[in-house]
């Protein structure tokens, strides 16, 4: 496999343990049929795939080539099973993609002289009728070597079938002599066509070389500062913001190496005592947040000291755990070696949803996927008719921006531009006026730059849920880090205004500083105790609204924002 370096692998009768495929690196994406007899593996980390169909004996995925989408099907039919069941499943997949290019790798256990056997049987004739009826092309060579060897027996059960249009391209099929761990030989099918895929930028910013980054950036800062000061409308703001992002990306390309995600399973060093310490530290934090103004500073100092001690304990436990894990290894290239050097990938397994057509490019399928999970509003509202008559809020101070940038969390995934929080901290420390002036232009114009709204949406499938249902996925949007800084500045201003005028209900405990589930429970207990002392009954009604945030009306949110009499420039940003 290392010599071949395949992009995709169609396998039949793979090794199974506890209803899971084994025998291949865990970093590979895998797709299986319901009976686990047919599977497709994706060793190429840059290859984007979509699950098209998953049936009893077959599984199908789609990849995007440079000029066309290609559906790859893996199928298996036992010699004792009715071959028509598997052929019907393949037919249904072909009908769903409507004459698009397909490549089928199958072990159908049928005999026919067309693909190497000396005689025909009923299964082989049925398979040949299926190929002819669907206008497919058989890539097998009747004079080719056998693909199955067991003791003195040999056979040609493994078929490579493709669409007629794909047959006109430069394809090559070869039965390899490379030893395999089964009775079947490796079959290499080569298609000289490039795939169309993109990898998101990730930079190794933790490894230094910041001087070269700042040196490259410094030659353009004066020009951009002048450009920002001359911004007078929303279009210029969008263009300048996008140009600044591109400049930072070029500087990162110049100074930092791009990275791939490492698959590093850490040893089990986490202990019960560390779990207790973590919970105690969280309790100290909550107490500090709820403390009055006289005690708050002292409590935060205490929490900071305890946090430093906790970090040392975690670091010591992690280091000693890894040392013990390595010392216990008997094989120098065992689990510890694989854990340190094995590469991994982000899961990107999307599926065609129920009642959706699996036709078209991967972009078309992805857009349909998005429309099902995040539907467009039934109607749009023209907010230009709404007028705000409140005063504008003051511009952001450099200290205000510095505070937000300083408290950006480390280790967070960047957006599609690849600019992470560490890069923003380095830029702001060297050129503090640059981001401050850009954010103030956004506040003055009452506009949020369009490039800050473009995010990389990652879907996580809920465990045990049907992949063909939109409710089985939880989307997470990775937005540009620069936009998150501006968003934090705006929400801080808005929250301060709402708290100052007491616009937020005292009964709201979520998403408010100094409030938590503990304060909510304390309020509830006080109400119950008050009812008891006055000899009244208490009724508690608990309601969980499914998809509450997903079903909020944007127009209602905007109306509430207008009713709050928030500063005019901040209100315009949210419009």
- The more confidently predicted of residues 531 and 4 is 531
The answer to whether residue 248 is domain-embedded is yes
Contacts of 536 (CB under 8 A, 6+ apart): none
The backbone torsions φ and ψ at residue 75, rounded to the nearest 5 degrees and listed phi first, read -140, 150
pLDDT of residue 196: 60
Query: Are residues 179 and 211 part of one domain?
Result: no
For the ranges 229-238, 250-259, 287-296, which has the lowest average pLDDT?
287-296
Query: Are residues 464 and 432 part of one domain?
Result: yes
- The more confidently predicted of residues 77 and 171 is 77
> Which domain CATH number covers 112?
3.60.10.10
Domain end among 170, 192, 214: 192
Query: Are residues 303 and 236 part of one domain?
Result: no
Write out the H or E segment, with its range, that includes residue 529.
helix 517-533
The answer to whether residue 266 is domain-embedded is no
Alpha-carbon gap, residue 378 to 422, rounded angstroms: 40
Are the C-beta atoms of residues 436 and 464 closer than 8 Å to each other? no
pLDDT in tens, 191-208: 877 666 556 778 888 888
Mean pLDDT of 123-136: 91
pLDDT of residue 383: 64
pLDDT of residue 266: 40
Domain end among 167, 192, 217: 192
The answer to whether residue 537 is domain-embedded is no
Alpha-carbon gap, residue 571 to 392, rounded angstroms: 9
Domain end among 283, 305, 321: 321
Using alpha carbons, select from 106, 75, 110, 69 the residue that is nearest to residue 89.
Answer: 75
Query: Are residues 495 and 461 part of one domain?
Result: yes
The answer to whether residue 448 is domain-embedded is yes
SS3 state at 347: coil
Query: Are residues 225 and 117 part of one domain?
Result: no
Mean pLDDT of 554-561: 82
What percent of the chain has pLDDT above 90? 33
pLDDT in tens, 485-529: 999 999 999 988 888 888 888 888 888 888 888 899 999 999 999
For the ranges 32-41, 176-185, 219-228, which has the lowest average pLDDT?
176-185
CA 447 from chain centre, in angstroms, equals 28
Strand partners, 207: none
Using alpha carbons, select from 545, 564, 404, 418 the residue that is nearest to residue 500.
Answer: 564
pLDDT in tens, 321-379: 878 878 888 888 777 776 666 543 344 466 777 777 787 777 777 777 777 777 776 66
Does the pLDDT at position 386 exceed 70?
A: no
pLDDT of residue 195: 64
Query: Are residues 179 and 125 part of one domain?
Result: yes
Contacts of 575 (CB under 8 A, 6+ apart): 383, 386, 446, 558
Query: Are residues 154 and 56 part of one domain?
Result: yes
Write out the H or E segment, with its range, that includes residue 95.
helix 83-97
Query: Are residues 569 and 429 part of one domain?
Result: yes
Mean pLDDT of 178-195: 78
For the record, the structure tokens of 70 come out as 């290609």
pLDDT in tens, 5-38: 788 899 999 888 888 887 777 677 888 999 999 9
Q: How many domains in the chain?
A: 3
The answer to whether residue 255 is domain-embedded is yes
The answer to whether residue 209 is domain-embedded is yes
The answer to whether residue 240 is domain-embedded is yes
Query: Are residues 427 and 492 part of one domain?
Result: yes
The answer to whether residue 530 is domain-embedded is no
Query: Are residues 244 and 187 part of one domain?
Result: no
Contacts of 407 (CB under 8 A, 6+ apart): none
Q: Which residue segment(s) compose the domain that 455 sits in?
A: 205-259+390-501+544-573
Query: Are residues 476 and 407 part of one domain?
Result: yes
Alpha-carbon gap, residue 421 to 419, rounded angstroms: 7
- The more confidently predicted of residues 414 and 467 is 414
Query: Are residues 568 and 442 part of one domain?
Result: yes
Which range, 16-25, 38-47, 111-120, has the best average confidence (pLDDT)?
Answer: 111-120
């Amino acid at each position: 496999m290392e010599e071949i370096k395949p992009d995709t692998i169609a396998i039949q009768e793979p090794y199974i343990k506890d209803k899971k495929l084994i025998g291949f690196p865990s970093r590979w994406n895998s797709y299986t049929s319901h009976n686990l007899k047919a599977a497709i593996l994706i060793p190429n980390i840059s290859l984007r795939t979509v699950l098209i169909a998953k049936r009893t004996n077959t599984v199908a995925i789609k990849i995007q080539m440079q000029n066309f989408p290609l559906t790859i099907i893996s199928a298996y039919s036992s010699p004792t099973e009715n071959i028509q069941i598997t052929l019907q499943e393949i037919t249904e997949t072909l009908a769903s993609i409507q004459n698009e290019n397909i490549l089928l790798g199958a072990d159908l256990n049928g005999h026919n002289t067309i693909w190497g056997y000396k005689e025909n049987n009923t299964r082989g004739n049925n398979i040949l009728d299926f190929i002819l009826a669907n206008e497919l092309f058989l890539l097998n060579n009747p004079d080719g070597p056998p693909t199955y060897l067991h003791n003195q027996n040999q056979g040609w059960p493994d078929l490579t079938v493709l669409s007629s249009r794909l047959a006109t391209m430069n394809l090559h099929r070869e039965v390899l002599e490379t030893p395999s761990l089964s009775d079947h030989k490796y079959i290499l099918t080569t298609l000289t066509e490039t795939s169309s895929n993109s990898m998101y930028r990730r930079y190794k910013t933790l490894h230094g070389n910041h001087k070269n980054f700042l040196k490259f950036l410094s030659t353009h800062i004066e020009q951009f500062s002048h450009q920002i000061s001359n911004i007078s409308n929303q279009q210029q703001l969008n263009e300048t913001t996008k140009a600044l992002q591109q400049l930072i990306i070029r500087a990162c390309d110049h100074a930092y190496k791009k990275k791939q995600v490492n698959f590093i399973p850490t040893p089990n060093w986490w202990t019960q005592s560390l779990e207790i310490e973590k919970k105690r530290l969280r309790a100290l934090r909550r107490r500090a947040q709820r403390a009055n103004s006289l005690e708050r500073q002292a409590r935060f100092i205490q929490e900071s000291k305890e946090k430093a001690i906790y970090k040392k304990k975690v670091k010591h436990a992690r280091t000693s755990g890894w040392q013990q894990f390595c010392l216990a290894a008997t094989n120098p290239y065992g689990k510890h070696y694989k854990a340190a050097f094995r590469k991994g990938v982000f899961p990107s397994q999307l599926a065609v949803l129920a009642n959706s057509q699996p036709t078209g490019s991967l972009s078309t399928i992805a857009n349909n996927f998005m429309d099902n999970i995040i539907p467009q509003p039934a109607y749009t509202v023209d907010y230009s008719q709404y007028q705000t008559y409140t005063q504008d809020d003051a511009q952001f101070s450099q200290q205000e921006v510095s505070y937000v940038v300083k408290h950006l969390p480390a280790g967070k995934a960047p957006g599609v531009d690849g600019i992470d929080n560490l890069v923003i901290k380095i830029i702001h420390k060297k050129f503090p006026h640059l981001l401050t002036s850009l954010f103030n232009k956004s506040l003055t114009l009452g506009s949020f730059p369009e490039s800050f709204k473009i995010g990389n949406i990652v879907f996580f499938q809920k465990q045990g849920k049907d992949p063909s249902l939109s409710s089985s996925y939880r989307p997470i949007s990775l937005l540009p880090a620069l936009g998150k800084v501006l968003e934090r500045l705006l929400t801080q201003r808005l929250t301060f205004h709402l708290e100052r005028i007491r616009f937020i209900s005292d009964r709201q405990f979520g998403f408010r500083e100094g409030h938590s589930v503990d304060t909510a429970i304390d309020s509830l207990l006080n109400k119950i105790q008050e009812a008891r002392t006055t000899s009244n009954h208490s009724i508690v009604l608990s309601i969980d609204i499914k998809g509450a945030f997903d079903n909020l009306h944007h127009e209602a949110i905007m109306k509430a924002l207008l009713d709050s009499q928030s500063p005019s420039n901040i209100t315009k940003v949210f419009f």
